[in-house]
Amino acid sequence: MTRVLFPTQEIGSLAKPRWQLQGQRSEPLDEGAKQELRSWDARVGFAAEAPGVRDALLGGRPRDVAPETVRDLGALFGLRFLETVGLDRVYDGEARRIEMYEYPIRQMHGFHFGGHVRSWDNKYYLKAAVTDEVRLDHPYHVEEFDFVKGHARAEPKLPITGPYTLADWSYNEYYLARQPGWKGRAARRAAQKEFVVDLARRAIRPTLSALIDHGCRVIQIDEPAAGTHPDEAAIVVDGFNAATEGLDAEFTMHICYSSYADLLPTLLEAKRCRQWAWEFANRDSQGHDGYAVLKALAEYGDTREVGLGAVDVHRDTVESPEVVADRIRRAAKYLGDPGRIWVNPDCGLRTRSLPVAYAKLESVVRGAALARAELENPRR
Amino acid sequence: MIVRTGLTGPFPRSEALVSATRDLDRGRTTAEAVEELYARTEGEVVALEHRLGFDESTAGYLRWPDLFRPFAETWEGFTVGPLTRWLETNTFYRQPILLHPPGRTPGAFAARLPPPLVGAPGAGRVLLPGPYSFSVMLDNRSGETEPALIHRLGRLLGDEVKELRERGFGTFLFSEPQLAVRPPEGPRAEAVIAGYRAVQSALNGGTSIVWTYGADAVPAFPLLDRLPVSVVGVDLAETEVEALPPGPSGVGLGLGVVDPRTTLEEDPAEVAKVVRAAHARRRPSAVWLGPGAPLDLLPWEPATRKLHVLPAVRRALTEGTP
C-alpha cells in the first residue's frame, strides 16, 4: 500500500462520553449528556447510523435499548471521531473496554483474583495470581474487531495488552513455585520468563491468530510495563517473539513512560515488530530534546518504523501544528529517514476531555501535513 | 540467635475498607462509618501482630495515603504534587513538591499515627520515610542543594523522633528504598550519615531501623555499614545472602523474608536456612525478620496468610525445630 509521508494514527483509548456511560446503565440521559450526544453528532456524524438508539437515548427511553447496543454506538462514535479528525489508522477509542488487564486475564484459565491492591489514595485494582498453567478459554477482542472492521472507513489497528505487561501486573505463584530453593532474584527472573512465554504462546498468540483470521492486519501490542524493569528487556522480547511466531500481520509495539535507551539494544531482537510506537512529547520541554533518543535507533542500525508520540496526553495544553511539525522534523533528522515516521499521540487520550483529545489529534494531523508539505515542496 | 519479627511498612486495607473508602469518595457512605471501620480494622491488624508474636505493633498504617503524605500535608514548605510511580510497581504516590526549605509543625505527624499506637506507644513501631529516599522522591524546587536537603530532612525527622520518644515511642523504622535503588556517593552519602546522626542523637536509647528494598542492597553496604543506626534491613528477594559483606557487624541485621511481589507462601524451612546463612555471614547482634518491602503490594488475604511464616521461622531458629 502506498502511503503519504507522515501518516497518522491513534494509540489507545478515548474518554467515554457521558451519554454512553449513562446509557449503558440504562439511566435517562441528563441534559449535559444529551447536549454532548447532539453536539458530537453534529461534529463527527455517527448517531444517524443508529437512529433507533439515538432516539431512545434522547427521548428518555434508555430501557428501550440494550447496554450492548449503547456500547456499539459508543464504538461507532470513537471510530467517527478519529476518522473525522483525519487519522489514517483508527480504532474505536476502546469504547467497550474499561481497562487493559482484568478483561484479558478473565478470558484465561490459571488465574485467581484474591482481592484489591491500592493503586493510590482510595483507588484500587484487582490483581490476579497465576496459580496454574496458563490456558486460553476464548480468544478475545474478536467481536470488537469484527464491529470495527464492519464500520471503519479508515484502516483499523487493534490494540492488545502484551504478555510481559499481563505477567508483570500479576502475582507469579505457579511458575515461581516450580523454581527450586530460595526464591531470590535469579529464581524470580527464571519464573517470570517462563510465565511470560507461556502467556504469549498459550493465550496471546491464539488470540492474535483468531484476530488475523477475522481480517485484522495491523496489531499494536501494548507493553507499558516494559520500562519498569529495564533489566528484563530480554523477557519482553521473548514474550513478543513467542506471541507473534509464525503469524502474518503488521505488528507494532507500544511502550510509554520509559527510559528507552535502557531497553536498547535488547528490544531490537523483537523480530516481527514493524513499528516502535513510543512516547516522546511528554519529555520534550524546558530545553530538553525528548526526541534525541531516536539517535540510538539510528546508531544501532534499526530501520523499523517509528510511531512518533507528538502530543502529550497528560496536559490539557494543546500543542500547535507547528510544534508537532517541529517534532517530526527533528525525529526525521535523527532517524535519517522521514519515510519511517508515523505520527500519533504519546499514548491513549482517555485522561483528556473529548474536546481536548480532538484538538490534540487535529494538531497531529495538521502538524503532519505541515511537515509533509515542507518536505515535498521545500522553499528555495 | 536473637530473632525479632514485625512489619516493615503499611499493611493492605481489608476488602471491607476498600469498599468503604471507595463508597466515601462516591458519596455513598459517611466519614463516621469509614472511621469506625478504620478503627475496627486497625484492631484486627494489632490482634494479628499480637497473635503472630511480633515484637512491636504497627496497626497497619491503613489511613496513610502514602509514605510521604503525613509530612507533605503537615510540614511547612510542601505542597502535594502529581501521581508518580512507586518504584518498579504498578502503584503510585503523590509526589511532594518542596517549594521552600522545609520546617516541621510540632505535633502534626504524631496526630497522623494510628490511634492504637498512640494508646500504647511503648509497643509501637513508628514508620517514617528515610531522609535520603524522601529527598530523592520529592520534587525539590526549594533551591536547597540535595546534600543540604538530605541533612535537613534528617534533622527534622530527628526532631520528630525526639517528640515521639517523649510520648513513649521506642522503635522507629525508616523506609529507605532509594539507598538500594540509587546508592548515594560523595557529599550525598555524607549527608545521609549526618542525617542519621541527627536521628541517633534524638533516639535516647530507642531503636532505629533503616529498611532498604526495591533493589540489591549490596552496592550500598559501604554506606549502610557506616550509618549510626540500630538495624539495617535488606530485601532478600533482591539481595543475595552470599554477596553480603562479611561481619562481624555491631548492629542488627534486618532480613526481608516475606516477598510481597508474589502470593506464593514462603517455605519456613527454606527461609530458616537463608536466615542462618545470612547470620553466619554478617554475625549481627540480632536478626530482625519481616516483609522485604511494604506488604501493601498484596491484597489483605494473601498478606495475612504469608505473614504466618514469620513465627514458624522464629521457632525454627530459636528452638531448633525444623
Low-confidence ranges of chain A (pLDDT < 50): none
B77: helix, coil or strand?
strand
Q: Which chain B residues are closer than 8 Å to A225 by Cβ?
A: 90
* CB-based contact A122 B24, cutoff 8 Å: yes
- Supply A294's cell numbers: 531516536
Domain segments of chain B as ranges: 3-12+61-319
The reply to whether A71 and A170 lie within a common domain is: no
pLDDT number for residue A379:
63
pLDDT number for residue A1:
64
Nearest to B194 by CA among B100, B105, B131: B131
The alpha carbon of residue A371 is apart from the nearest alpha carbon of chain B, in Å, by: 34
Q: What is the total count of domains within chain A?
A: 3
- Domain span at residue A163 reads 1-15+95-272
- Supply A307's cell numbers: 510511531
The reply to whether A143 and A290 lie within a common domain is: no
Element (H, E) at B132: helix B131-137
CATH class of B3-12+61-319: alpha beta
The alpha carbon of residue A300 is apart from the nearest alpha carbon of chain B, in Å, by: 27
pLDDT number for residue A286:
66
Q: Which CATH number do you get for residue A135?
A: 3.20.20.210
The reply to whether A101 and A234 lie within a common domain is: yes
> Of chain A residues 78-117, which have a CB less than 8 A from chain B?
114-117
The reply to whether A141 and A213 lie within a common domain is: yes
The reply to whether A37 and A101 lie within a common domain is: no
* CB-based contact A120 B66, cutoff 8 Å: yes
The residue out of A272, A307, A324 marking a domain boundary is A272
Low-confidence ranges of chain B (pLDDT < 70): 321-322
* CB-based contact A120 B263, cutoff 8 Å: no
The residue out of A272, A299, A320 marking a domain boundary is A272
Nearest to A378 by CA among A322, A367, A323, A370: A370
Is B80 touching A (CB cutoff 8 A)?
A: no
The reply to whether A263 and A168 lie within a common domain is: yes
The reply to whether A290 and A217 lie within a common domain is: no
Instruction: Give the C-alpha separation, A352 to A354, whole Å.
Output: 6
Chain B interface, mutation test: which of A99, A121, A188, A235, most B Cβ atoms within 10 Å? A121
The reply to whether A116 and A185 lie within a common domain is: yes
pLDDT number for residue A175:
98
Could you read off the pLDDT of B15-26 as tens digits, one per residue?
999 999 999 999
The reply to whether A24 and A9 lie within a common domain is: no
The reply to whether A216 and A319 lie within a common domain is: no
pLDDT number for residue B82:
82
* CB-based contact B85 A228, cutoff 8 Å: yes
Nearest to B39 by CA among B127, B115, B146, B141: B115
The reply to whether A67 and A124 lie within a common domain is: no
Q: Which chain A residues are closer than 8 Å to B298 by Cβ?
A: 117, 171
Contact indicator for B147, B190 with CB cutoff of 8 Å = yes
Instruction: Give the C-alpha separation, A125 to B92, whole Å.
Output: 12
Q: Which chain B residues are closer than 8 Å to A116 by Cβ?
A: 13, 15, 18, 299
Instruction: Give the C-alpha separation, B263 to A111, whole Å.
Output: 12
DSSP A302-322: ---EEEEEEE-TT-SSPPPHH
Instruction: Give the C-alpha separation, B22 to B29, whole Å.
Output: 9
Instruction: Give the C-alpha separation, B78 to A206, whole Å.
Output: 51
Could you read off the pLDDT of B140-167 as tens digits, one per residue?
999 999 999 999 999 999 999 999 999 9
The reply to whether A245 and A305 lie within a common domain is: no
Contact indicator for B172, B194 with CB cutoff of 8 Å = no
